[in-house]
Chains A and B, each alone.
Chain A
């Protein structure tokens, strides 16, 4: 006999934020067997758990290792549930291009932002690390993204962010995109200087900023 929907969703949520991937997998399979709604289970179970982990991260109870383990559990659950989504579940999502600029391979910060953006319901196109600057522009055009997120940890590669913005200007498409930047040496002052639309100093801030910029763009 299948357990109640609420009990299973609680396991999905707890499994994610308590870093228990086995519990998530078990509960996700239960959702499938009981034919409960996969979309509901992802949103109100897995993603709710990831957002709780994000809150603990903001409160400095969780750090990078913990958040990565939570996200692995979330993705493991999504993997199982995704084939069971209904066509009507496909909502138009905000498309985002993200990556670490050329010359830099430090991608932990970028990965954290990507995870929290997934959890926030964005469609994230992750270009990875050491990304050739033109690729940001090409990818944004290709997928129809409205937001470009650039990350770097090194002072030596910061100027690449300005180059991406210059490229958009040269093509006459600067106004079609919001560009946000972040990383160790980056500051609001630097964002202002290079004409970026915003700066965030942590993953939660990046999500908030992205949402408000995209709302602005839509208005």
Chain B
């Protein structure tokens, strides 16, 4: 079974020989400095050159044992295209927004639409085309910044969060505009060949928003995205929610994505209880991945597999300083322990 079939089957709940081991990209990017050396493609240049971007994620697949490729390696492509100022960071630091596009919620008309033919949006699209040619049997994951996280990259998050209560009308207008743009960008990434969409929305954690605002401002917009990609393109989605999702309770199961990925503090067992119909993804601590020993990481990965995880992955974005041998340690869990796990039964359980 090739990597692409395995991931797509896992996401659809179809039979797979074992769960895949992935590192989607975006917030949960896979680029560590040793892989940059191996690919001779380093940050920050790899953020804005399609050839280097493709080479780096391909190295993660071929050298690191990660069973996918994925672009970009940050959460700033959309915000930059919509008018925010971005610093591309350095070898060991990811890009970040340095200046917001608007100051107030009533300035939405100042935001720009993402032009997929320009800038780093174009870089991602061109990189996907290269990946489709170079590694057609490896699934390409297109990473989108979640709607709440993108909105709070366009306007100071403190202003944004307050607006959710004090100015709901303009907050929804901003979310609508953000979603239109995520759909436009996502469509272009899928048309270039992406096989899976991954939406990470760290700013939409239940601990920050609370259940009520999560239900009003995160779920409807996330669901519109994943439903769109499924209905228009037949493309499955993964949604990553940061923080302790237990405070969201049964709201988690209302997320329409095929798969839900969670942080390290939530066990796979708990995730499966909270969202029984979803393919569970996760959730090896990124701290352990950076500082731990390869053998411990293998064991931890095996624990996730025994817990019935549908897709094995890090719990969050990994540090660029994570040793390659540790990533391989996690890959080993799947090769040694994975053959005994029946994906279909596990992902459909409950």
Contact = CB atoms under 8 A, between A and B. Distances in A.
Interface of A: 19, 60, 62-66, 68-69, 72, 103, 105, 108, 111, 154-156, 158, 184-185
A72 B317 CA distance: 33
A155 B161 contact: no
A156 B321 contact: yes
The 4 closest A-B pairs by CB, nearest first: A63-B210, A65-B161, A156-B319, A64-B208
Nearest to A104: B96
B281 to A, nearest CB: 19
Nearest to A130: B96
Contacts of B209: 63-65
Contact of B161 (A68, A184, A185): A68
A108 B213 contact: no
Contacts of B321: 156
A69 B165 contact: yes
Interface size on B, as a range, is 20 to 34
A72 B162 contact: yes
B274 interface: no
Contacts of A158: 287
A65 B162 contact: yes
Interface of B: 92-94, 96-97, 157-158, 161-162, 164-166, 207-210, 213, 242-243, 247, 286-287, 290, 316-317, 319-321
Nearest to A103: B93
B150 to A, nearest CB: 16
A63 B213 contact: yes
B208 A108 contact: yes
Nearest to B286: A155
10 contacts: A60-B210, A64-B208, A66-B165, A68-B158, A69-B162, A155-B287, A155-B290, A156-B92, A156-B320, A185-B286
A64 B319 contact: no
Contact of B208 (A19, A63, A72, A103): A63
A130 B161 CA distance: 21
A108 B92 CA distance: 23
Nearest to B243: A184
Contacts of A60: 210, 247
B261 to A, nearest CB: 16
A111 B210 CA distance: 17
B319 A155 contact: yes
